[in-house]
C-alpha cells in the first residue's frame, strides 16, 4: 500500500502533533479562513468544528493548533507552522506549556468531568506575552453533562489569550449553552478533486479512489480505513453473524462466540448499518440499499420483519451504542440483543 506523510488513520487515538503539519487538502478554504482570523487578531476564544466522522476534523484542528502556537507564522505571513521554532519543537515532543489536549478515554470512550475541571483551571492561568494558551478537545460531543457544564465556566468567562478548540461529529449532543458560546464552523469536503488526489496515494494499487470515497459516504479517512484488510475481515465476520442470526443458521451462543475478537462498538455500528439497509429496502428505497446485493434467502429473512420491527431493532442498537459501556461485558450485551432479535424474528 502506498503511503504519504498523512496516511496514518486511527479511530481510537489521535495523531501525535509532530505528524500534523498541514491541514487536509480538501479543507483548505476553511483552514485559511480561521488562520486569517488569527492574523487579524479576531480569533474567537472558542471554536467548534463539526462534520461527519472521519472527515479529517481532528487532523484539521491539530494543524490549526500548530499554526496558532508557532512563533513565526505571523512574522512570515505563512499559512502553516514552521515546524522548527521552539514552540513547534515543544509540541512535537509533548512538552509545550501553552497547550493541553483532551480526548475521549476509557472503555466508555467518553470525556468525564475531572479532566475537564483540570483543563479549565489551566486555561485560567495567564498566557505568555503575545502567546495563546490553547486547549484542544476532540470528541467533544462525548462529554457527559457534568463535564460539559464544567467547561461552560471557561466559555462564559474566558481568560485573556485563551483559545478552546472543540471537535465534534454530532454537535447537537452538546448542551445548547456550550454551542452558543462557540464560533461554529461546519466542515465538509470542499474539493472532491483534492480529496481524490490524496486518497489515491493511500489506497492499494488498483483501487478506485472515486468508488472508495463514494462507498465511504464522502469521508476520506473512512475510505482509507475501509481499504484495510483487517477491517474488511472484521466486517465479513460481523456480516456472517448477522445473517446467521436472521436465517437461523447458528445458535445465539455460537454467533456470540464468533464475534469474541471483534470490538463491541464495531459490531453495533455494523448491525445498525445493516438494519438501516433493511429498513430502506422494506420502505421501497432499494436503490439506495445494500439489500440489492442480497440472495433470495437473505431477502426472505429481511421480509420476515416489517418496517416497525426493523425500526425497533435499530432503536435497540442505537440505545446500546450510546450507553456508557465501561461496565459492558461484550458477550452479555451481544447475547441479550441477539436473543431478543431472534424472538422478534420468530414472532
Which grid coordinates belong to 41? 487578531
Q: Is residue 63 located within the same domain as residue 41? A: yes
Is residue 15 over pLDDT 50?
A: no
CA distance 11 to 265: 12
Q: Is residue 188 located within the same domain as residue 333? A: no
Residue 270: helix, strand or coil by DSSP? helix
Q: Is residue 155 located within the same domain as residue 214? A: no
Q: Is residue 131 located within the same domain as residue 177? A: yes
Domain hosting residue 213, numbered range:
198-226
Do the domain assignments include residue 106?
yes
> Domain holding 310: CATH number?
1.20.272.10
Do the domain assignments include residue 9?
no
Do the domain assignments include residue 4?
no
Do the domain assignments include residue 11?
no
CA distance 276 to 155: 38
Q: Is residue 49 located within the same domain as residue 132? A: yes
Among 115-124, 186-195, 272-281, 287-296, where is mean pLDDT lowest?
287-296
Give the whole-number percent of the chain exceeding pLDDT 70: 88
Which grid coordinates belong to 158? 474566558
| Residue 19 confidence class, pLDDT cut points 50, 70, 90 | low
Do the domain assignments include residue 279?
yes
Among candidate residues 104, 33, 96, the one with its CA nearest the CA of residue 64:
33
Is residue 196 over pLDDT 70?
A: yes
Do the domain assignments include residue 245?
yes
User: Which of 47-56, 119-128, 256-265 is the most confident on average?
Assistant: 47-56
Q: Is residue 180 located within the same domain as residue 249? A: no
Q: Which residue has the higher pLDDT, 183 or 337?
A: 183
Region 254-260: what's the mean pLDDT? Answer: 91
Is residue 16 over pLDDT 60?
A: no
Is residue 10 over pLDDT 70?
A: no
CA distance 123 to 134: 8
Is residue 9 over pLDDT 60?
A: no
> Domain holding 64: CATH number?
3.40.50.300
User: Which of 16-20, 91-95, 132-136, 290-294 is the most confident on average?
Assistant: 132-136
Q: Which residue has the higher pLDDT, 222 or 326?
A: 222
- Residue bearing cell 461484550: 330
Do the domain assignments include residue 101?
yes
Q: Is residue 143 located within the same domain as residue 247? A: no
Give the whole-number percent of the chain exceeding pLDDT 90: 48
Q: Which residue has the higher pLDDT, 226 or 292?
A: 226
Q: Which residue has the higher pLDDT, 1 or 294?
A: 294
Alpha helices, DSSP H only, in 7-108? 28-40, 57-69, 73-76, 86-93
| Residue 219 confidence class, pLDDT cut points 50, 70, 90 | very high
CA distance 60 to 75: 22
Give Cα 305 to chain centroid, integer Å. Answer: 32
Q: Is residue 58 located within the same domain as residue 165? A: yes
CA distance 291 to 305: 14
Q: What is the dihedral sign for C-alpha 15, 16, 17, 20?
A: negative
Give Cα 339 to chain centroid, integer Å. Answer: 30
CA distance 185 to 44: 11
| Residue 51 confidence class, pLDDT cut points 50, 70, 90 | very high
Q: Are 167 and 138 in contact (CB under 8 A)?
A: yes
Q: 282 CB contacts (<8 Å, ≥6 apart)?
A: 302, 303, 305, 306, 307, 310
Is residue 8 over pLDDT 60?
A: no
Is residue 288 over pLDDT 80?
A: no
Is residue 244 over pLDDT 70?
A: yes
Alpha helices, DSSP H only, in 56-144? 57-69, 73-76, 86-93, 113-123
Question: What is the number of structural domains in the chain?
Answer: 3
Q: Is residue 206 located within the same domain as residue 170? A: no
* Per-residue buried b or exposed e for 45-80, using 16+ beta carbons within 10 Å of the residue's own CB: bbbbbbbbebbbbbbbbbbbbbbbbbbbbeeeeebb
| Residue 329 confidence class, pLDDT cut points 50, 70, 90 | low
Q: 329 CB contacts (<8 Å, ≥6 apart)?
A: none
| Residue 76 confidence class, pLDDT cut points 50, 70, 90 | confident
Q: Is residue 172 located within the same domain as residue 183? A: yes
Is residue 43 over pLDDT 60?
A: yes
Q: Are 304 and 254 in contact (CB under 8 A)?
A: no
Q: Is residue 207 located within the same domain as residue 253? A: no
Residue 54: helix, strand or coil by DSSP? coil
Is residue 331 over pLDDT 90?
A: no
Q: Is residue 179 located within the same domain as residue 210? A: no
- Predicted model pTM: 0.77
Give Cα 342 to chain centroid, integer Å. Answer: 31
The 99-102 sheet, strands edge to edge: 99-102, 133-138, 162-168, 46-50, 183-186
Q: Are 65 and 136 in contact (CB under 8 A)?
A: yes
Element of type H or E holding 183: strand 183-186
Average pLDDT, whole number, for the chain? 85
Amino acid at each position: 500500500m502506498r503511503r504519504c506523510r498523512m496516511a496514518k488513520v486511527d479511530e481510537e487515538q489521535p495523531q501525535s502533533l509532530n505528524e500534523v503539519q498541514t491541514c487536509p487538502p480538501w479543507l483548505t478554504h476553511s483552514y485559511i479562513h480561521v488562520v486569517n482570523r488569527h492574523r487579524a487578531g479576531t480569533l474567537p476564544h472558542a471554536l467548534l468544528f463539526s462534520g461527519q466522522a472521519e472527515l479529517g476534523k481532528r487532523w484539521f484542528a491539530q494543524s490549526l493548533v500548530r499554526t496558532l502556537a508557532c512563533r513565526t507564522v505571523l512574522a512570515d505571513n505563512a499559512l502553516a507552522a514552521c515546524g522548527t521554532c521552539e514552540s513547534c519543537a515543544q509540541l512535537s515532543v509533548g512538552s509545550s506549556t501553552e497547550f493541553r489536549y483532551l480526548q475521549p478515554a476509557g472503555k466508555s470512550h467518553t470525556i468525564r468531568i475531572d479532566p475537564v475541571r483540570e483543563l479549565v483551571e489551566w486555561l485560567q492561568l495567564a498566557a505568555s506575552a503575545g502567546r495563546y494558551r490553547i486547549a484542544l478537545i476532540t470528541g467533544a460531543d462525548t462529554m457527559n453533562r457534568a463535564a460539559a457544564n464544567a467547561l461552560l465556566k471557561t466559555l462564559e468567562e474566558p481568560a485573556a489569550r485563551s483559545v478552546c478548540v472543540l471537535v465534534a461529529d454530532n454537535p447537537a449532543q452538546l448542551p445548547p449553552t456550550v454551542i452558543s458560546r462557540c464560533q461554529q464552523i461546519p466542515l465538509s469536503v470542499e474539493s472532491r478533486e483534492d480529496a481524490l488526489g490524496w486518497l489515491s496515494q493511500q489506497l492499494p494499487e488498483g483501487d478506485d479512489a472515486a468508488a472508495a470515497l463514494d462507498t465511504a459516504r464522502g469521508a476520506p479517512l473512512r475510505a482509507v480505513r475501509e481499504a484495510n484488510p483487517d477491517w474488511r475481515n472484521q466486517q465479513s465476520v460481523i456480516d456472517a453473524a448477522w445473517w446467521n442470526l436472521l436465517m437461523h443458521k447458528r445458535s445465539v451462543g455460537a454467533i456470540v462466540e464468533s464475534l469474541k475478537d471483534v470490538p463491541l462498538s464495531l459490531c453495533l455500528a455494523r448491525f445498525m448499518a445493516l438494519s438501516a439497509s433493511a429498513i430502506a429496502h422494506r420502505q421501497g428505497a432499494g436503490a439506495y440499499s445494500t439489500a440489492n446485493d442480497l440472495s433470495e434467502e437473505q431477502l426472505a429473512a429481511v421480509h420476515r420483519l416489517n418496517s416497525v420491527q426493523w425500526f425497533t431493532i435499530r432503536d435497540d442498537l442505537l440505545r446500546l451504542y450510546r450507553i456508557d459501556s465501561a461496565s459492558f461485558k461484550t458477550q452479555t450485551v451481544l447475547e441479550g440483543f441477539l436473543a431478543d432479535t431472534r424472538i422478534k424474528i420468530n414472532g
